[in-house]
A and B are shown apart, each in its own frame.
Chain A
Amino acid sequence: MNVRIEVNGEGRETAAATILALIEELKLDPRKVAVELNLEIVPRSLHATTPVSDGDKIELVQFVGGG
């Protein structure tokens, strides 16, 4: 069953049941992104077991060039 969530400020529907499934759905490398779920960090070790629920606000970030 799809849920409606917000990823990096944009609304989307997903069938992903967990954070890890969402990262894979988005074709991202799970080793290179950090995840914040409703303003709380989700450690990488918990990606596979943390559920994605309707209304969740998720941030997926990585390192980029900066000064």
Chain B
Amino acid sequence: MDKIHSRRQVAAIKHSLFDQGYLDEQFIQLEELQDDANPNFVEEIVTLYYRDSSRLISNLDHTLERNPLDFNKLDTIMHQFKGSSSSIGAKKVKAECTLFREYCRTRNGEGCRRSFQQMKKEYATLRKKLETYFQLARQAGPQETAFRPK
């Protein structure tokens, strides 16, 4: 009964992540790639994404501290970050990346900073939500583990 409940919970969280626009269909793509060879593929990918992208975030942080702003550099890093975020389907983060790059193009330093803060927020929120999601999913266990003795 617990299992069924937690599975429902997992499904509900996932659903809300899509409904609230945190994730896009890329996430489903990742889930489809998950198989016996990589049973935790999605989680591995998300972990990898957060590990790698934190480097880019701090890089952006540093670059934004400079004066005057190097918009080209900011744009390049953000482009990279956006590409990376597209890998897990981080929809809101991606949207902020696009906005940020738009500010870069118009040389709007203030806009860039604001957008960057917003992006970091979305980035952190998604991380938390995904962590919760994976934790619950692990507890609920994959459906394929039904054979496991209770």
B partners with A: no
